Homo-oligomer: A and B are copies of this chain.
């Protein structure tokens, strides 16, 4: 998969047996395969609200599949695993638009979502069956089409503690698992920007893709009145779940007026503030919408490497909640989302539903994805 942070393709090769709650898996290999230089901004242009054009989108849909194929080949070569032994590929695709909220158009009232990197193109180029395009199924049934990781969290990461699993990609999302709950008790939702606003400011101020280990944010000061203004701007924060978000909301327009009116604030302080805000949004969402108290918060995704985010999370959640970086015996933290979509493909090929209507708001449970013959 490649996420909204647009930093490349996460490719995981896993050995998997069983399905549903009997799923057992073991990571064989994982790489993050970088996007070609300049693709990041080309995708962004075509992902902004009312941005892009049909020619670029048509081409991107094929181009991204070509890159996915190369990323799979690169992983197999690196770990010397024969491509011919790969049984099935699960592909999330590259989200370039996500409008799950119902809007009226030509008399129809519906939400929509668009992932590029056509799964049929991948299947034909690489000669392996592909299951892809998972989100449309849930959005078609009037769900948010997200998050899907909670299903994976439930079948793989339940424990004897009340815990929350937080993934910080471009957008952050949280899954709350009570120690004695079943699948229908899972609570999960997107909880605002993950690395998206941080990366945006890093690009703007320092021409870098991200804030390595949060160093820049840690070198600045949180500006309280700016923090308050950002919070005030963020209507998503207080929206009740089911909810999901993306670049349509937290894209380049989100901060533009504040950047103009607060241009005198030092760049490092902007970073400190937006990073603190990112943690605040996660905490506030948890506080507003979690029905249970938790003992531990387990953080994964690129944002887990940002020490400034972790520091702020520890401050907000307080000493009764242990904030830990995600670790698992069967797969590495960075691979979590990629492994999740391999598991979702396995569910589909086994005929299992994998959306959680309580989480996504969909009308019913449904089998996700399109099956593409090689």
Contacts and interface: CB of A to CB of B under 8 A. Distances in A.
Given A38-B106, A125-B140, A140-B125, A55 B63 contact: no
A348 B374 CA distance: 12
A155 interface: no
Given A140-B120, A140-B124, A372-B370, A107 B36 contact: yes
Interface string A120-156: 1101110000000100110111000000000000000
A59 B120 CA distance: 21
A49 B110 CA distance: 27
B141 A124 contact: yes
A367 interface: yes
A48 B53 CA distance: 9
Contact of A110 (B66, B105, B351): B66
A54 B47 CA distance: 6
Identical chains bound together, number:
2
A73 to B, nearest CB: 14
Given A39-B106, A51-B53, A370-B120, A61 B112 contact: yes
A105 B42 CA distance: 11
Contacts of A57: 52, 54, 57, 97, 114
Contacts of A61: 112, 114
Grouping DSSP codes into helix (H, G, I), strand (E, B) and loop, the A interface class, with mixed when no group exceeds half, is mixed
Given A54-B52, A373-B348, A373-B367, A62 B120 contact: no
A118 interface: yes
A214 to B, nearest CB: 31
A371 interface: yes
A180 to B, nearest CB: 32
Given A48-B54, A370-B371, A62 B111 contact: yes
A55 B99 contact: yes
Q: Which 9 interchain pairs have the tightest Cβ spacing? A: A124-B140, A62-B112, A58-B97, A370-B370, A52-B54, A58-B114, A121-B140, A371-B371, A36-B106
Interface of A: 36, 38-39, 42, 46-59, 61-63, 65-67, 96-97, 99, 103, 105-108, 110-114, 118-121, 123-125, 133, 136-137, 139-141, 248, 348, 351, 366-367, 369-374
